[in-house]
């Protein structure tokens, strides 16, 4: 399996269940099954913009991940992002991907509601605003304050903390793939961090 | 395939594409493939409460579908509900299911944003608030005014238009399956139609 | 009273009440009382972006009002905007201002919920993102489809219907005062009309 | 000034400004001016449900304030609630009222966005769902996790931490005035804490 742009190494990974949910069919998939599934249904994702906030809840820094893109060879910046597994609650998926990308002591403060700040539809064909060459993905997006220490994990080379106005500068947004620069700018405007 | 509670006859159905999206792989599935897919990933749904509104946007009537449940044999009330197909935009899925359940001249006024009023997670195992015995489903829910004539289609026997306070009476909510009575009450409170 | 940028001629205006609310104290104010009130509390506003939508709820055109600004003498583009009166429901205020600016047959489709798409805080002092020289105003903002004929009224010279990408071009946004260009861009992104 | 139901002692209170906002006209009002203002415009409020959350953001406890109502003489339960002052940002007002009611070390985690979870319109006349005998108030409502120690202040006699299902039991909701029991139930459903 080649390394892909948005950290899909969790595919096929088993995970522990939150009580009181039963340990049911864990949705394990071989690569063939994964490929087949991606051609049949939209795949549900969660995406998160990790931020530092002040005592008033205002965003002071935005955390962007630096990754090597296997498809293009160049470095890209990305959000925390990953699939919701079969049987997994959205909150569990969100925490799992935050810990996967930011480390176990990032101490994210998850939103009280799972109603997302934005819904993004990535299509596998060209000519769309949001694009994912691998699949049709629908992502529920959140802005998540983190209060602990973050360290890059998995395939992320680095976490960069930028001021909001730096994060939406054209140089940075251009380093994001599939339309995520546009998503980032919208989410930061949603929380009032940029005009 | 036995008839199921929430109108899954669209599985395997081909659909026309909205321009400018290409006519790509339509995500057709056999029953075996559908069953396999349901065991592997959460299935993305849209749900809609059809309503009549006055000139101020206030809900005056709530449309509930009466269906026969194959699993229990009894009649149940339900919302407009159905799967998002591979390659299909959320808006397209929402319109398709509204027309499927309410007929071609219901003239729904779709929301301007796809950010849902509620997100509901249905799990296939017991002991959860929202339950779907067939699958793990994640549903984006909307309140949708309809301005035209509605006529029941497919497996719906009848559409009943109730006043909001009638729709959330215990007798009616008890006729809804899988936690949808709770969802309905929340959505009607979200739009200020009930206390 | 000099003409002001955002159509405050409704101050002091009496209005009819929606049943079943009683005809109570109508909040009539002299100019002196208005000025005093503006210095004491934040003033609640509603703002609306009138749009044309297609059958899928996608925004196809954005209606902007062209007005003469008394303070600067130049022409400015603006949103539908106005104060919520004492005793007036938010929905009533929204409809009243839409009809005031777009005419009686604009036939707006008001949102089913009064939870706004954005909340904007205008302060009377410089150096803030959103600025109103007259007052501290807090505006609840909505995107509102209109289905009828629109004709400029009151102090609006013209209504221009632009495609979404035109509406957020820098030339147009620069003609909007007090930060409303930024608000407009955010709202159009919220409904997926621009990237 | 008689003690009122929802802690209006902050009227007339001066407050420190957040940099970089200038120390401008502070909106100080005498009792006569306050009474006059309340008869002229809707008064903007913030309301907050203080909650304890687990590592997944799920609400585990709901904090309700016990207060003596001067108008009825009986004890009532209430939310954190208070007016937004002239020139004050919504975030500042929210933090100020949380600290006023819960003490200086409650350490609330303010929402990243000021778009509220609910908007409630309280009218001074009878026969409405939400009622405030003193005024027409429009309240932006939030669910706010608190991470520190809470101690009742001002006119609150006690803070009670209830499990979500206890908080929405009829005995508790009946002790809340003006429709706030209905608001509380809606907000707890919005965050998925109750069905």
- DSSP letter for each residue of C61-121: EEEEEEEE-TTT-SEEEE-EEEEPPTT--HHHHHHHHHHHHH-TT--B---S--S-SEEEE
Cis peptide upstream of residue D184 (ω within 30 degrees of 0): no
Q: Which of D55, D91, D143 sits opposite A58 (nearest CB)?
A: D91
What's the CA gap between B186 and D130, in Å, rounded?
17
Nearest to D145 among A51, A112, A192 (CB): A112
Share of chain D above pLDDT 70, in %: 85
What is the distance, to the nearest Å, from the Cα of residue B118 to the centroid of all Cα atoms in its chain? 13
pLDDT at residue number D181:
95
Nearest to D184 by CA among D134, D123, D118: D118
CB–CB of C95 and B55 under 8 A? yes
The pLDDT tens digits for B142-158 are 999 999 999 887 677 79
- Pairwise CB contact (< 8 Å): D191 & A113: yes
Peptide bond between residue C80 and the one before it cis (omega within 30 degrees of 0):
no
Q: Which is nearest to B127 in space by CA: D58, A22, D190, A16?
A: A22
User: Which of chain B's residues have a Cβ under 8 Å away from the Cβ of A118?
Assistant: 115
How far, in Å, CA of A80 to CA of A101, rounded? 6
Task: Give the three-state DSSP class for A99.
Answer: helix
CB pairs under 8 A between B and C: 59
Report pLDDT for D73.
Answer: 76
| Low-confidence winner among A102-106, B10-14, B165-169, C145-149 (lowest mean pLDDT) | B10-14
pLDDT at site C169: 94
Q: Cβ contacts of residue D157 below 8 Å, gap of 6+?
A: D66, D67, D68, D75
Of A18, A112, A191, Cβ closest to residue D59: A112
Residue C25 and residue D39 in contact, taking contact as beta carbons nearer than 8 Å: yes
Of the ranges B165-179, D1-15, D90-104, which one carries the lowest mean pLDDT score? D1-15
- pLDDT classification of A70: cutoffs 50, 70, 90: low
> What is the average pLDDT across C64-85?
87
Q: How far is B186 from chain D (nearest CA, A)?
A: 7
ipTM of the complex: 0.86
How far is residue A54 from each of residues A148, A191, D91, D95, D112, measured CA to CA in Å?
A: 14, 13, 11, 12, 10
Q: Which residues are registered as beta bridge partners of C80? A: C48
> Alpha-carbon distance D169 to D116, whole Å?
24
Subunits next to D (3 or more Cβ pairs <8 Å) are A, B, C
CA distance D18 to chain A (A): 10
> What three-state secondary structure class fits C141?
strand
**Residue B145's closest CA among B76, B24, B60?**
B60
Polymer length in residues for chain C:
195
Across the interface, do B191 and C110 touch by the CB < 8 Å criterion?
no
Tell me how close the Cα of B109 comes to any Cα of chain A, in angstroms. 19
For residue range D122-133, what is the model confidence (pLDDT) as tens digits? 999 888 899 999
What pLDDT does residue C3 have? 31
Mutate: best of B190, B191, B193, partner D, most D CBs <10 A: B190
The residue ranges of chain B whose pLDDT is under 50 are: 1-25
**Helices in C103-179 by DSSP H: which ranges?**
164-167, 170-173
Whole-number average pLDDT of chain A: 85
Alpha carbons B70 and B7: distance in angstroms, whole number = 11
Nearest CB to B195; choose among D182, D189, D195: D182
Per-residue pLDDT, C155? 74
* Distance separating alpha carbons of residues D132 and A155, to the nearest angstrom: 56
Residue C176 reports pLDDT greater than 80: yes
**Residue pLDDT, tens place only, A116-125:** 999 999 999 8
pLDDT for res C70: 67
* The pairing of beta strand B43-53 with beta strand B137-145: parallel
Mutation for testing the B interface, residue in A41, A139, A187 having most B CBs under 10 Å: A41
Interface test with D, best of A15, A17, A53, A57 (most D CBs within 10 A): A57
In chain A, whose CA is at the least distance from the CA of D95? A56
**Local structure of residue D146 (DSSP, 8 states):** B
DSSP annotation of B118 reads E
* CB < 8 Å to D128, chain C: 21
**What is the pLDDT at residue B15?**
34
CA-CA distance, C128 to D24, in Å (whole number)?
14
The pLDDT > 70 percentage for chain C reads: 85
The two three-digit tokens of residue D19, written as one number? 């940099």
* Residue D59 DSSP one-character state: E
Task: Tell how far CA A23 is from the center of its chain.
Answer: 25
Q: In whole angstroms, what separates CA D4 from the centre of its chain?
A: 13
Do B138 and A36 touch, CB atoms closer than 8 A?
no
Candidate from A14-28, A117-131, C117-131 with smallest mean pLDDT: A14-28
Distance CA C129, CA C169 (A): 19
* pLDDT for position B6: 37
- The distance between the two most distant Cα atoms of chain B, rounded to a whole number of Å, is 48
Written as six digits, the tokens of A163 are 């001021």
C143 vs D195 pLDDT, higher one:
C143
Question: Of the candidates C39, C15, C64, which has an alpha carbon nearest to the alpha carbon of residue C183?
Answer: C64
| Helix (H) or strand (E) segment spanning residue C145 | strand C137-145
Residue C78 has pLDDT above 70, yes or no: yes
Query: What's the pLDDT score for residue B186?
Result: 96
Put simply, the answer to whether C110 touches B53 (Cβ < 8 Å) is yes
Q: What is the dihedral of CA D76, D81, D86, D92, to 10 degrees?
A: 150
Other C-beta atoms lying within 10 Å of the C-beta of residue C56: 14
Contact check, Cβ <8 Å, A25/B33: no
pLDDT at C19 over 50: no
| CA dihedral for A173, A176, A182, A188, sign (positive or negative) | negative
CA angle D131, B50, B61 (to 5 degrees): 50
pLDDT at C122: 97
Tell me whether residue B78 is exposed, middle or buried, using C-beta atoms within 10 angstroms of its C-beta: 0 to 12, 13 to 18, 19 or more.
buried
Q: What are the start-end ranges of the H helices in chain D?
A: 31-38, 90-102, 164-167, 170-173, 180-190
pLDDT value, residue B16: 34
CA distance A58 to D112: 6
Question: Which residue, among B66, B81, B165, has the nearest Cα to B120 in the 3D structure?
Answer: B81
Q: How many CB atoms within 10 Å of residue D163?
A: 14
Residue D175, both tokens? 């002790």
Say if the Cβ atoms of C182 and A195 lie within 8 Å.
yes
> Angle C180-190/A180-190 helices, nearest 10 degrees?
120
Average pLDDT, chain D: 86
Average pLDDT value for residue range A81-88? 96
- Could you tell me how many residues make up chain A? 195
Q: Residue C63: pLDDT above 80? A: yes
- In contact, C140 and C109? CB cutoff 8 Å: no
The model's confidence at residue D17, banded by pLDDT at 50, 70 and 90, is very low
Given a cut of 90, whether residue D134 has pLDDT beyond it is: yes
CA of C16 vs chain A CAs: smallest distance (Å)? 35
For residue A30, count CB atoms less than 10 angstroms from its CB and return exposed for 0-12, middle for 13-18, buried for 19 or more. Answer: exposed
- The strand pairing partners of D52, in sequence order, are D61
Q: At residue C86, does pLDDT exceed 50?
A: yes
Q: What is the pLDDT of residue B18?
A: 34
Question: Is the link from the previous residue into D20 a cis peptide, with omega within 30 of 0?
Answer: yes
CB C144 within 8 A of CB C108: yes
Place of tokens 């195992």: B125
Does the distance separating the beta carbons of A182 and C186 come in below 8 Å? no
What distance in Å separates the CA atoms of residue A81 and residue A132, rounded to the nearest whole number?
13
Other CB atoms closer than 10 Å to residue A130's CB: what's the count? 18
A139-195 per-position pLDDT tens digit: 999 999 999 999 887 677 799 999 999 999 988 998 999 999 999 999 999 999 998
pLDDT for residue C4:
36
Residues β-bridged to residue C69: none
Question: Rounded to an integer, what distance in angstroms lies between the CA atom of residue B74 and that of residue C13?
Answer: 57
Decide if pLDDT at A7 tops 80: no
Tokens 């936690």, residue? B179
- Count each helix (H run) and each strand (E run) in chain A, helices first: 5, 7
**pLDDT at residue A168, as a whole number:** 95
Instruction: Give whichever of A148-157, D24-33, D60-69 has the largest mean pLDDT.
Output: D60-69
| pLDDT at site B8 | 40
Tokens read off for D10:
């902050």
C68 pLDDT higher than 90: no
């Amino acid at each position: 399996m080649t390394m892909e742009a948005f950290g899909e190494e969790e595919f096929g990974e088993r995970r522990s269940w939150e009580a009181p949910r039963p340990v049911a069919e864990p949705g394990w998939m071989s690569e063939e099954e994964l490929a087949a599934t991606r051609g049949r249904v939209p795949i549900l994702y969660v995406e998160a913009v990790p931020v530092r906030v002040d005592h008033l809840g205002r965003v002071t820094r935005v955390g962007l991940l630096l990754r090597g893109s296997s498809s293009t060879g160049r470095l890209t910046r990305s959000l925390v992002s990953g699939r919701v597994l079969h049987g997994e609650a959205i909150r569990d998926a969100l925490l799992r991907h935050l810990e996967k990308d930011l480390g176990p002591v990032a101490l994210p403060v998850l939103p009280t509601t799972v109603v997302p700040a934005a819904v993004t539809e990535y299509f596998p064909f060209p000519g769309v605003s949001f694009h994912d060459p691998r699949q049709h993905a629908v992502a529920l997006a959140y802005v998540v304050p983190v209060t602990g220490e973050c360290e890059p994990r998995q395939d992320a080379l680095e976490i960069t903390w930028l001021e909001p106005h730096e994060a939406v500068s054209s140089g940075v947004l251009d380093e994001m793939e599939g339309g995520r620069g546009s998503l980032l700018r919208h989410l930061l405007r949603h929380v009032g961090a940029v005009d």
